[in-house]
C-alpha cells in the first residue's frame, strides 16, 4: 500500500512538472543552446587546430640553428575543449620560448576581443550557470507552493510519510528536468560526430564525455535538493525564490570573485611588473661584473704584451688573440651565472604565485558552481593541472 502511494506521488509530480510551462522553457533552452554551443565549439576547435599546425610548420621552416636561437614549444588544442575552454580565455599557457641565457618565457593563449566582450558559452558554462539557476527555478515552489494552495495539508491527511512526499517531489521533478538535458546532449553529440572533426563516440573520448555527463547529473541533483530544502523551510514561494537567488549569487559570483582578494591578503606576492624589474636589475648587475672583468683582463694582457701602450688598436693581433683565448672561460662563467640567477628568480616567483593561487582555488572551491567549472575544465584538459604540467615541462624544455 505504501509503495503504491509513493508511486502515485511520484507520478503526480512528474505529470505536474510536464504540464508546467517551466518544463517547456527548459526544453526549448536546452535543445537550442546546448547543440548550438557544441557546433560553435567544434568550428572553433577546427580553427585552433589549423592555427597550431600552421605555427608548428612555420617554426620548422624558418628556425635556424644558432648561438642565440629561441626554441619554441606549443601546446596543441585539446579535442575535449569543446566541452569547456577552461583557462584558455586568459590564463592557459600556449607557448614556451627558450633562451640561451636561461630566461625562458611563457605566452598565454591569444584572446579573441569579440569573445571577451560578448562572452563564450560552452557546456561547462551552461551546466554551471544556466542549468543551475533553472534547477532552482524548477523547485522553488515545490513545497511552499503546495502550502499556499492547501494541497500539502490534504496530502498529509492521508497515510503517507513526510519523507515520501519529499522524495517523490525530488525524484519526480528531477527526472522530468533530465529529459531536456539528456535529449539535448544526445543531439549535440550527434552534431559533433556528423562534423567529422572529433570522433566523440570513440574509445578515447567517450569515457571522458560520460564522466562529465555523470558529474553534471550529480551537480544538478544537489541543486534540486537545495531548492527543495529551501522551499520546505520558507513560508511562501516569493520568499523561497528570493532566498534561492541570493544563495546562487553568493555561490556563483561572490565567492569565486573575492577568493583572489582573500588569498592576496593571506599570501601577498609582488606584481609581474615588479618581478620583471627585479630580473632586469639582476641581469644588469651581472653584465656590469662581466664588463668589468673583461676590461680588467684586457688591460692586464695589454700591459703584459704592449707595456707603455694605451687605448685599443685593431693591429694588436697578439693582444686580441690572447684576450679572446683567455676571456672564453670568463664569458662562459657569466653565461652560466646569468642562467642560474634567472632560473632561481623564475622558480621562486612561480612557486610563490602557485602558492597564492592554491589558497585562492581552495577558497573558491567552497562554491559548487566554481567547483563544477573546474571539474569540467580538468576533464577537458583545460584546467589548472594542465597549466601546471605545461609550466613544469617548459622548465625541463629550457634545460
Q: Answer yes or no: is pLDDT of 275 > 60.
A: yes
pLDDT at 62: 79
pLDDT at 223: 94
- For 204, phi then psi, to 5°, come to -80, -25
Per the CB < 8 A criterion, the answer to whether 102 and 74 are in contact is: no
Nearest in space to 253 (alpha carbons), one of 129, 378, 119, 122: 129
Cα separation, 48 vs 63, whole angstroms: 22
* Sheet hosting strand 93-97, strand order edge to edge: 72-74, 93-97, 105-108
Per the CB < 8 A criterion, the answer to whether 161 and 253 are in contact is: no
User: For the segment 46-73, what is each residue's pLDDT rounded down to a tens digit?
Assistant: 988 998 899 888 888 877 777 667 788 8
Q: Answer yes or no: is pLDDT of 160 > 80.
A: no
Cα separation, 293 vs 286, whole angstroms: 11
Across 2-11, 98-107, 280-289, 338-347, the highest mean pLDDT is recorded for 280-289
Q: Answer yes or no: is pLDDT of 179 > 80.
A: yes
Q: Answer yes or no: is pLDDT of 119 > 60.
A: no
User: For the segment 284-332, what is each residue's pLDDT rounded down to a tens digit?
Assistant: 998 888 888 888 888 888 888 878 777 777 777 777 788 778 878 888 8
Cα separation, 289 vs 232, whole angstroms: 74
Q: 384-398 and 368-379 are packed helices; what angle lies between their axes, rounded to 10 degrees?
A: 50
What is the pTM (predicted TM-score) of this model? 0.78
Q: Answer yes or no: is pLDDT of 159 > 70.
A: no
Q: Answer yes or no: is pLDDT of 117 > 50.
A: no
User: For the segment 361-380, what is each residue's pLDDT rounded down to a tens digit?
Assistant: 889 888 999 999 888 988 88
Cβ-in-10-Å burial (0-12, 13-18, 19+) of 1 comes to: exposed
Kindly report the average pLDDT of the chain as a whole number: 84
Proportion of the chain above pLDDT 90, given as a percent = 28
Amino acid at each position: 500500500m505504501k509503495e503504491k502511494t509513493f508511486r502515485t506521488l511520484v507520478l503526480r509530480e512528474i505529470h505536474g512538472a510536464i504540464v508546467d510551462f517551466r518544463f517547456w522553457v527548459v526544453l526549448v533552452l536546452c535543445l537550442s543552446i546546448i547543440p548550438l554551443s557544441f557546433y560553435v565549439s567544434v568550428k572553433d576547435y577546427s580553427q585552433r587546430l589549423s592555427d597550431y599546425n600552421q605555427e608548428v610548420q612555420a617554426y620548422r621552416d624558418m628556425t635556424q640553428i644558432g648561438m642565440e636561437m629561441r626554441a619554441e614549444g606549443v601546446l596543441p588544442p585539446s579535442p575535449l575543449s569543446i566541452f569547456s575552454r577552461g583557462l584558455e580565455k586568459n590564463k592557459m599557457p600556449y607557448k614556451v620560448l627558450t633562451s640561451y641565457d636561461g630566461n625562458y618565457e611563457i605566452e598565454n593563449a591569444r584572446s579573441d576581443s569579440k569573445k571577451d566582450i560578448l562572452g563564450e558559452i560552452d557546456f561547462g558554462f551552461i551546466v554551471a550557470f544556466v542549468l543551475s539557476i533553472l534547477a532552482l527555478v524548477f523547485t522553488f515552489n515545490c513545497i511552499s507552493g503546495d502550502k499556499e494552495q492547501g494541497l500539502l495539508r490534504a496530502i498529509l491527511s492521508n497515510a503517507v510519510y513526510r519523507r515520501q512526499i519529499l522524495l517523490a517531489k525530488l525524484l519526480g521533478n528531477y527526472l522530468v528536468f533530465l529529459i531536456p538535458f539528456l535529449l539535448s546532449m544526445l543531439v549535440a553529440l550527434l552534431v559533433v560526430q556528423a562534423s567529422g572533426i572529433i570522433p566523440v563516440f570513440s574509445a578515447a573520448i567517450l569515457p571522458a564525455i560520460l564522466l562529465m555527463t555523470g558529474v553534471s547529473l550529480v551537480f544538478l541533483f544537489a541543486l534540486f535538493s537545495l531548492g527543495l530544502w529551501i522551499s520546505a523551510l520558507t513560508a511562501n514561494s516569493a520568499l523561497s525564490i528570493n532566498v534561492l537567488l541570493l544563495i546562487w549569487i553568493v555561490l556563483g559570483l561572490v565567492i569565486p570573485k573575492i577568493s583572489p582578494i582573500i588569498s592576496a591578503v593571506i599570501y601577498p606576492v609582488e606584481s609581474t611588473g615588479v618581478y620583471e624589474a627585479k630580473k632586469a636589475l639582476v641581469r644588469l648587475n651581472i653584465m656590469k661584473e662581466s664588463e668589468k672583468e673583461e676590461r680588467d683582463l684586457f688591460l692586464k694582457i695589454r700591459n703584459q704584451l704592449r707595456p707603455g701602450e694605451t687605448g685599443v688598436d685593431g693591429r694588436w693581433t697578439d693582444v686580441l688573440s690572447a684576450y679572446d683565448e683567455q676571456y672564453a672561460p670568463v664569458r662562459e662563467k657569466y653565461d652560466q651565472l646569468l642562467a642560474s640567477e634567472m632560473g632561481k628568480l623564475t622558480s621562486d616567483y612561480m612557486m610563490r604565485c602557485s602558492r597564492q593561487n592554491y589558497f585562492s582555488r581552495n577558497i573558491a572551491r567552497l562554491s559548487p558552481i566554481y567547483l563544477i567549472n573546474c571539474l569540467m575544465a580538468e576533464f577537458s584538459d583545460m584546467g589548472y593541472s594542465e597549466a601546471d604540467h605545461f609550466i613544469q615541462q617548459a622548465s625541463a624544455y629550457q634545460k
